Structure 1
């Protein structure tokens, strides 16, 4: 039987939960997001590739949000370092581990989309390529 691809979302979210203190970490925007700031939302987006050995090269969208622009910017930049370090250290979860990190875009401020940006919500977005391998 061929290896099953690891759950990349779970690996990334768990790595953020371990490495980022003081921020809520989610794979999707919670309905009560205003009560959860500062917030990091990280999830796989279309793109990337996999192979028969169960190696998954995934694109990860990371959004950092806070009530202050500087805080949101710093959170996005720290999240980048946390994810890069998790890949370097080969962060392991129940079904796989992270092994490579590459910048694709960002972090850059976004002022469009949902939730709507305003004087008390600032969001920064970045996309990273990570490799996940099965155990």
Structure 2
């Protein structure tokens, strides 16, 4: 999913965790899995993804949050494939909405918007002969 976001976003840093030098990476997108979701024996993973978008300007942070939503939904619609599988379904859970609490602290040079999405990922399983099996 992070690779799909990197592919779909230009000019933004995409990370899984907040870097210590976050101010050097603005505009910044931090996308990570949160508890919840489910998986099954076939390896299909329904994950809850927390996405935070940060920029030095409130309007830019809000715009970035909306662009991330479209990029992730589009990657799922097109079944974006990474090295371990592909994305197949996208659903809004919450947001995007501005957050002014937490770390790093909000200020005149940091604005953050947060959203939560449900994303389904399906594995690519090798079968005899080396051909992938799409689930």
TM-score > 0.5 by shorter chain: yes
* TM-superposition CA deviations, 1:16-58 (whole Å, max 9, x none): 1101000000000000001110000001000000001100000
Instruction: Please report how far the alpha carbon of residue 83 of structure 1 lies from its aligned counterpart in structure 2 after TM superposition.
Output: 0.1
Show structure 1 runs of 5+ residues with no match. Answer: 1-11
Larger Rg: 2
C-alpha distance in 2, partners of 1:13/1:53? Answer: 22
2:55 to 52, 63, 66: 66
Root-mean-square deviation (CA), in Å?
A: 0.4
Show structure 2 runs of 5+ residues with no match. Answer: 125-135
2:18 to 8, 29, 54: 29
Moved over 3 A (4+): none
C-alpha distance in 1, partners of 2:87/2:34? Answer: 17
Using CA pairs under 8 Å that are at least 6 residues apart, name the structure with larger relative contact order, 1 or 2: 1
Instruction: Please report how far the alpha carbon of residue 59 of structure 1 lies from its aligned counterpart in structure 2 after TM superposition.
Output: 0.2
1:123 aligns with 2:108: no
C-alpha distance in 2, partners of 1:73/1:107? Answer: 8
2:83 to 64, 70, 94: 94
C-alpha distance in 2, partners of 1:41/1:68? Answer: 17
C-alpha distance in 2, partners of 1:91/1:114? Answer: 32
The two structures have a TM-score, normalised by structure 1, of: 0.91
The two structures have a TM-score, normalised by structure 2, of: 0.91
Number of equivalent positions: 124
Name whichever structure is richer in strand by fraction.
2
Instruction: Please report how far the alpha carbon of residue 130 of structure 1 lies from its aligned counterpart in structure 2 after TM superposition.
Output: 0.4
